[in-house]
Amino acid sequence: MEYKIYFSNEKIINKDFSKIPKKKLDIIFQKIESLSKLWIENAQIKKLNNYNLCDYRLRVWDFRILFDIDIDKKEIIIFRVLHRSKLY
């Protein structure tokens, strides 16, 4: 069961990506791609409580990928990719 990946706001996401070192950015893209295939089995995914922007986060080193899941439409919507110091 494969989910489609969408970015909520490309302008904001591109700004987030521009602040990430190239080596880490490649791994983050790989994690996003793997998220589309096996999102529920990934141990690095955590359901967020009391966070207004989204419901889930994926941890990749010191970075966090914030996203929501629409199970009915089989979509994953990515909102932000931030360093953890900027997120919490």
Is the separation of the CB atoms in 4 and 76 below 8 Å?
yes
> Rounded to 5 degrees, what angle do the CA atoms 46, 35, 6 make?
105
Average pLDDT over residues 19-37: 89
HSE-up of residue 73 (Cα within 13 Å, Cβ side):
9
- What are 33-88's pLDDT values in tens digits? 888 876 566 667 888 888 888 889 999 889 999 999 888 999 999 999 999 998 76
Question: Which domains are present in the chain?
Answer: 4-87 (3.30.2310.20)
pLDDT of residue 53: 81
Enter the tokens of residue 52.
């207004």
Average pLDDT over residues 3-29: 92
Is the separation of the CB atoms in 7 and 81 below 8 Å?
no
pTM of the model: 0.85
Q: Is the pLDDT assigned to residue 1 strictly greater than 80?
A: no
pLDDT of residue 37: 78
